[in-house]
Every structure is written in C-alpha cells, then in structure tokens.
C-alpha cells in the first residue's frame, strides 16, 4: 500500500471510531482532530458553527496567484447504527479481508478521509497551487438537512466556502452497460416536495361501522392509485444527457419509448435510472383515529415526493390531479426544496473524464441525476456560477453492490476503492490548480 493509500485508510479508521450519529451529531472531537492534522500540513483552518458542539471545518491551502477555488466537500455526521444488527462493531474501523468496516465507511467518512489525506499529502510534499486555492470543507448535520451545517455556513459565512468548483458525494461507483464500465458523475439533484393528503368522514363507534363514515377507508384507493401510477417523465438536461450516453437517446419528448428500450436491454440499470427521469411519489405514513374503537373522522397520508431539478409545486399539483383526480381529498404541502443542477460540460468534467480514461482504460464517465439530495444543492444555490459535482470513484465495488450498504447494517468499503478515490482527488487538484512548487 502506498503512502497516500495508507494515510487514507488510517484516517478513515480514526474517523469511524468517533460516534457521530445524528442526532445528536457530537462532531466536535472529530473536527478538532482533522483541524490539527490540516494545520500541521500548512492549511489555514477555521472551525465555526451555530453551536460550539457542532463546528464546521474549513481548511484552505492558498496558491501563488489568483485562480479558481476547488472545494473538496464532505460531511462527518452519520445515520444511526444498531450494533445488534451488525457482524462487527459499527465503530470498530477495522480492516477485515480487505474491507474497512463501520458506520460512515461509505456515507461518507470515506470521502472525508480520501479528501483530507490527499490534501495533507500534497501539502506535506511542498505542493502549492499555482493559481487559485484548494479548499477542504467538512460539514456537520447533513443527515438531518444541514441546518447547522451547509445552510448555516452559507448564510452566515459564505466567503469561507465560496468556490468555483466542488466535489462531493453522490456518484462514482461503477456500473456496466453492454460490458462497458461506466462511472457516474452527479451533475444534478432532485428536489423535495412532500405533501399530505387528507380525507374527511364522520366519527362513530367502531362496533357498528355503518353508523359513521370512516375517513381511513377513503385513503385506500388513493394509496393504490399512487402506487400503481405509471410515471409521466419530465426530462431535464442532466437526465437527457444520461439517456444519450446510455445509448437510449430521447427523440423529441418521447421519453417513455427511449426508457422502455433501456429497460428491455438493462433491467437492473433501468431501476436506478428511472427516478432520474421525472417526479416520484412514495406514500410512507398514514394516521387516523387515536382510539381503536372510534371510526376516524379524518385520515392523513404523507407522501415523500421528489421532483426534477428546477421543478416544484406546480408540477406536483398537476401530476397529483392526473393520478387522483381533484375531488374527495385535500392536498397540503409540508416541505419543499427545489433541486438544482450544474452544467454537464465543464473543465472539471473534462478532468474527471480524462482521469477515468487513464486509470480504467476503456471505461468512461456519464452524468447522472441523484434522486436524493446532498449539501451540493446549497452550494449551487449560494454560488450560482460554481460547478458542483458528486464523485467518489470506486473501481472495485459496483453501484449494485454499494447501494444496499448505504444506511444499512454491515456498511464497509474496499480499501482499494478508498485509495483509488484519494488518488483521484490528489491528481485532479494538481491538474486543475497547477503547481507552484
């Protein structure tokens, strides 16, 4: 194992040993360790947060002359982990049969470790950017929305994180199409437009259901309709570019025909692609009577709705009406955030594509739209002229192998993939910013 790979592996083990399950997060001890490492390598380091217990880390390595700022972005909080469900302790950080185990090994302390190790090794070697700055940012609170993390930082200290380019989580594990290896680069993220459907009835004693009007029963056909809906696709630029790269170009607006051709050829891949092409409805929660023996006079269905980048409530209202009609229920929106995108074509995309072509001959990059969202959404919204991509390249673990481990028991990463990503971040920084040393 070379020096950079060894550094990234040891660092990830240390990071996983910190229990930063959010809530509550408790990220300070981890952030202070990273701050000390980065300061020791010559970075200018700032720790700042809404509360003392949850500081965000911003580390800058200044260049010799003006130029672009490249931000290597990550977050250090994780989702929960129940040790009883794991084969090994979720906070062990041990390498077992070539895989490093623990909560955050994929989402996303691995990227923190790879980015920080790359930056420190570069700085310790004497490298400094010829033009522009290298920025390493490790955020708190991503797993519960970023109110104490990226949102707070961009609102209160935007100059600390202002950047021209950024690399974050969201894509990078390889997948195959017709024997060809493809690496996704996340260029866009869907938005959230969650809503509640309410039905009304008349309360009554449950011992005689006919003397009343059970509002819960009125939800049943609505849930069924949402579950059986055949999506109407609303294609955005990133999704259109992806379909073309996958050999299923969309002619005009006939997305369904292009997608059906892809599904016939690649059924597993198409399951990952379909949510990228339009709006999705996922009924997830219901509530009705507070007592078992009372017919509910009101029932509620909560729906997690994800919208294509740039689209929101207007589209959702239109699609809900198409699926459910307009009578017999009330629709209330509860949470909205518009998704956004970066250009598919950029100097950073050229560098990522070139790097993959060199490191994995015959493979190539393709743009993807993330069905969920990351902190990049806030970076794009705050700095509209910046280019923000999600990319953590994984050569030894496929997308189909990686995805089931996210937020799940037995999360782990192949240490070869950790080394692969660390080398990518190191070399992309040097190519984009040049060398003053």
Q: DSSP alpha helices (H): ranges in 204-302?
A: 219-228, 237-245, 255-265, 267-273
Told to judge if 77 belongs to the known catalytic residues of this protein, a careful annotator would answer yes
Q: Give the span between the Cα atoms of 334 and 54, in whole angstroms.
A: 27
Token pair, residue 336, equals 């909205």
Catalytic residue selected from 107, 115, 121, 142: 142
* Nearest-10 Cα torsion for 57, 93, 118, 416: -150
Strands of 239-372 (E only): list them. 280-287, 294-295, 298-307, 330-337, 340-341, 364-370
Question: Tokens 């794009």 correspond to what residue?
Answer: 380
Token pair, residue 317, equals 């209202």
Catalytic residue selected from 77, 141, 148, 411: 77
**What is residue 83's DSSP assignment?**
G
Told to judge if 142 belongs to the known catalytic residues of this protein, a careful annotator would answer yes
Q: How many CB atoms lie within 10 A of CB 32?
A: 13
Query: Is beta strand 65-75 parallel, antiparallel or unpaired with respect to 131-139?
Result: parallel
Is residue 75 within 8 A of residue 115, CB to CB? The reply is no
SS3 38: helix
Positions marked active-site = 77, 142
């Amino acid at each position: 194992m070379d020096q950079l790979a060894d550094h990234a592996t040891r660092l990830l083990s240390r990071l996983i040993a910190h229990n930063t399950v959010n809530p509550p997060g408790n990220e300070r001890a981890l952030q202070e360790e990273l701050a000390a490492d980065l300061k020791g390598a010559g970075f200018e380091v700032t720790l700042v947060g809404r509360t003392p217990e949850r500081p965000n880390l911003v580390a800058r390595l200044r260049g010799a002359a003006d130029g672009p700022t490249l931000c290597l972005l990550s977050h250090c909080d994780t989702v929960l982990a129940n040790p009883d469900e794991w084969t090994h302790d979720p906070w062990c950080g041990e390498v077992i049969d070539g895989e490093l185990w623990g909560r955050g090994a994929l989402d996303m302390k691995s990227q923190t470790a790879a980015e920080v190790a790359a930056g420190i090794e570069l700085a310790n070697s004497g490298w400094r950017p010829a033009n522009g700055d290298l920025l390493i940012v490790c955020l708190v609170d991503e797993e519960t929305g970023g109110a104490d993390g990226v949102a707070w930082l961009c609102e209160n200290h935007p100059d600390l994180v202002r950047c021209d380019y950024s690399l974050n989580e969201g894509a990078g594990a390889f997948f195959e199409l017709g024997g060809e290896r493809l690496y996704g680069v996340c260029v866009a993220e869907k938005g959230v437009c969650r809503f509640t459907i309410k039905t009304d009835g008349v309360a009554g004693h449950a011992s005689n259901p006919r003397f009343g009007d059970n509002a819960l029963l009125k939800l049943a056909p609505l849930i069924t309709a949402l579950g059986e809906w055949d999506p109407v696709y609303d294609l955005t630029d990133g999704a259109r570019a992806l379909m073309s790269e996958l050999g299923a170009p969309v002619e005009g607006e006939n997305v369904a025909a292009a997608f059906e051709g892809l599904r016939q050829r690649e059924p597993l891949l198409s399951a990952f692609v379909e949510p990228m092409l339009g709006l999705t409805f996922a009924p997830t929660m219901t509530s009705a009577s507070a007592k078992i023996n009372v017919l509910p006079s009101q029932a509620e269905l909560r729906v997690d709705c994800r919208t294509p980048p740039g689209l929101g409530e207007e589209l959702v209202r239109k699609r809900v009406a198409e699926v459910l009609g307009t009578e017999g229920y009330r629709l209330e929106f509860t949470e909205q955030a518009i998704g956004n995108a970066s250009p598919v074509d950029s100097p950073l995309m050229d560098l990522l594509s070139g790097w993959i072509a060199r490191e994995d001959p015959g493979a190539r990059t393709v743009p993807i739209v993330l069905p969920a969202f990351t902190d990049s959404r806030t970076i794009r919204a705050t700095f509209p002229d910046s280019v923000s991509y999600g990319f953590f390249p994984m050569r030894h673990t496929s997308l189909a192998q990686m995805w089931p481990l996210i937020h799940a028991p037995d999360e782990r990463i192949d240490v070869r993939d950790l080394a692969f990503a660390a080398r990518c971040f190191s070399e992309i920084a040097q190519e984009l910013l040049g060398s003053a040393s």
